[in-house]
Chain A
């Protein structure tokens, strides 16, 4: 039965995994992700979900176990954050190459030093070149729903890649807000059980074999190119997954992007996750003050929505990108991606980067308003 409750982003993620009927959970605790796996461990312990919980000694092992489970045909889940994410990094890359459709929640947190437990997006953005599909949740409902959508996309036979779902540390992970917890039957209708299209590391089902042996350059490139093809395929799969989600649940979080107030906009703000929703709330105020400002929430950073962004950018005269992250010596990471996209599509709208909210520094509506006004009147 469908219920409404006021829950944190972390509990919403746990519910997303539960409703997706995950079969194997392997995770190591780290602030601010810990309560996701605590909740799942509690449910496994009480027998409320039919899953195996593998306690591991590190994030590297967590991803190894999740990948092994996925290779054996199970629907696998893990979650991490920040330093734990970096410790897992070798296996993050491996999971994509191995084509194991694991879903992972990443609670975004700044990297040390200096030590900091608050929100920043740099951690997950570091993995944009690994072959994972990347979703960004802008509120707790989207966190829950994106986990379900992520399995749909990751396990699609045209894709077969792992997917990560990001949510801002504390901003969402520890903030409670109303969330609809869907009816299990409806979720089952949307997300069928995982049926591996390729290999199953299960001695009962298949002959013994080794996976990922050395390949020479002429063969290696073919295998890596196949990841690129799968990413290209995933664009349509993500759009379809979002559309069908809306049909069944009546909720639209966007597909690769979500637009707000973009009609007749003269200026667009681009941002990720909760920052984008914060910008949307601010744009509502600015519209009332006469500023023709729209917001584009970039919901998926891999595959990067190049066509969608170029099309919208072409219609406006100014763009600002709010980055809660930085690539040292380059730019805000999202801004860099958008600038490259516009160049590729011959769009010459000027783009201004605004780096804000580093290490959890609060992003107030005033900050966004000031940034908009600075660029708007230029």
Chain B
């Protein structure tokens, strides 16, 4: 087992935290995971990258993930802006936050196994907002668990509740579970109606 993951979000959307929560959830299942961040000019809204390496063995690499088996995209607009799909391996899974509108479905996406989740709507339904911005990172971890089949969604929820005790953790855990249930896996983009 060896996977490399790229998370791409915008500053403030919590991509870094998502990669760390994922690693902690995997650790509960005795799967070895690194969570790596690239800190640059931290500005709200600017593209932000986080990475994971996941394996059944301890990993000794310490560089950024260059090419990935899994790419998690927090917003369709980031596809063109970052050209992140150029870093996808041939059999990559791409997980995207989208309401499923046809204009979100970049033509490049059809090359990959695709998982679509409307994380923004989930956050709004749960009233999960920080400083007026929908919190989507925990939903994206739920989508990851569904798309990849690991870690167990219960592990994700436990780690989330540990990270934010109280109501915030409860809401975030709900968001991840809801996303886990609602994520649609599409082997080919052309089947999106």
A and B: direct contact (Cβ < 8 Å)?
yes
Query: What is the CB-to-nearest-CB distance from B50 to chain A, in angstroms, rounded to a whole number?
Result: 10
Min distance, Cβ A249 to any Cβ of chain B, angstroms: 16
Choose one: B23, B58, B60; the contact of A6 (CB below 8 Å): B23
A19 vs chain B, min Cβ distance (A): 20
What is the interface residue range for chain B against chain A? 20 to 34
With the chains together, A176 CA to B52 CA distance in Å?
A: 9
A116 to chain B, nearest CB (A): 11
Given A5-B27, A364-B66: A175 in contact with B37 (beta carbons within 8 A): yes
Secondary structure type dominating chain A contacts: mixed
Which residues of B sit under 8 angstroms from A139, Cβ to Cβ? Answer: 60, 62
**Partner pick for A4 among B27, B34, B64, CB 8 A cutoff:** B27
Q: In the assembled complex, which residues on chain B have CB atoms less than 8 Å from the CB atom of A15?
A: none
CB distance from B65 to the nearest CB of A (A): 10
**Cβ–Cβ contact B20 & A364, under 8 A:** no
Determine the distance from Cα of A362 to Cα of B38 in the docked complex, in whole angstroms: 11
Residue B33 interfacial (CB < 8 Å): yes
Which of these, A5, A174, A176, A365, contacts B63 with CB under 8 Å?
A: A365
Contact with B along A349-368 (1 / 0, CB 8 A): 00000000000001111000
B62 touches A277 (CB 8 A): yes
A172-221 interface (Cβ within 8 A of B): 172, 174-178
Residue of B nearest to A31 (CB): B39
Give the CA-CA distance A6 to B38 in the complex, in Å.
18
Quick check: A362 and B63 within 8 Å, CB to CB? yes
Contact in complex: A175, B27 (CB < 8 Å): no
Closest Cβ neighbor of B27 among chain A residues: A6
Q: A6-B23, A170-B39, A364-B66 are in contact. Are A280 and B32 (CB under 8 A)?
A: no
Q: A91 CA to B62 CA in the complex, in Å?
A: 33
Shortest CB-to-CB span from B130 to chain A, Å, is: 20
Chain B: which residue is nearest A367 at the CB level?
Answer: B63
A65 near B: Cβ within 8 Å?
no
A295 to chain B, nearest CB (A): 10
Instruction: Determine whether A272 belongs to the interface, using a CB cutoff of 8 Å to chain B.
Output: no
A195 and B64 alpha carbons, distance in the complex (Å): 44
CA of A175 to CA of B59, assembled, Å: 12
Tell me which residues across on chain B come within 8 A of A364, comparing CB atoms: 63, 66
Residues of B within 8 A of A365 (CB): 61, 63
CA A280 – CA B62 in complex, angstroms?
11
B39: chain A residues at CB < 8 Å are 32, 117, 170, 174
Q: Which residue of A lies closest to B159 (CB)?
A: A6
The reply to whether B33 and A178 contact each other, CB–CB distance below 8 Å, is yes
Bound Cα distance A275, B62 (Å)? 8
A174-B39, A176-B20 known; A6 vs B33 contact (CB < 8 Å): yes
Instruction: Report Cα–Cα, A5/B26, bound state, in Å.
Output: 10
A15 CB, min distance to chain B CBs, angstroms: 15
In the complex, which residues of chain B have a beta carbon less than 8 angstroms from the beta carbon of A281? Answer: 59-61
* Interface residues in A116-169 (C-beta closer than 8 Å to B): 117, 139, 168
Asked whether A174 lies within 8 Å of B37 as measured between CB atoms, the reply is: yes
A171 interface hit (Cβ, 8 Å): yes
| Complex CA distance for A6 and B19, rounded to whole angstroms | 11
B24 at the interface (CB under 8 A from A): yes
CB–CB B61/A176 < 8 A? no
Q: Is the CB of B62 within 8 A of A178?
A: no
Contact A6 B61 (CB under 8 A): no
Q: Which of A229-282 contact B (CB under 8 A)?
A: 274-275, 277-278, 280-281
Measured CB to CB, the residues of A under 8 A from B are: 4-6, 32, 117, 139, 168, 170-172, 174-178, 274-275, 277-278, 280-281, 284, 362-365
Can you list 9 pairs linking A and B with CB atoms under 8 Å apart? A6-B23, A168-B62, A177-B32, A177-B34, A275-B62, A277-B62, A281-B60, A281-B61, A365-B61
Closest 9 CB pairs of A and B: A281-B60, A176-B35, A274-B62, A6-B23, A6-B24, A177-B34, A6-B27, A277-B60, A175-B36
Q: A176-B23, A364-B63 are known contacts; what are 13 more A-B pairs with Cβ within 8 Å?
A: A5-B27, A6-B27, A6-B33, A170-B37, A170-B38, A175-B37, A175-B62, A176-B35, A277-B62, A280-B60, A281-B60, A363-B62, A365-B63
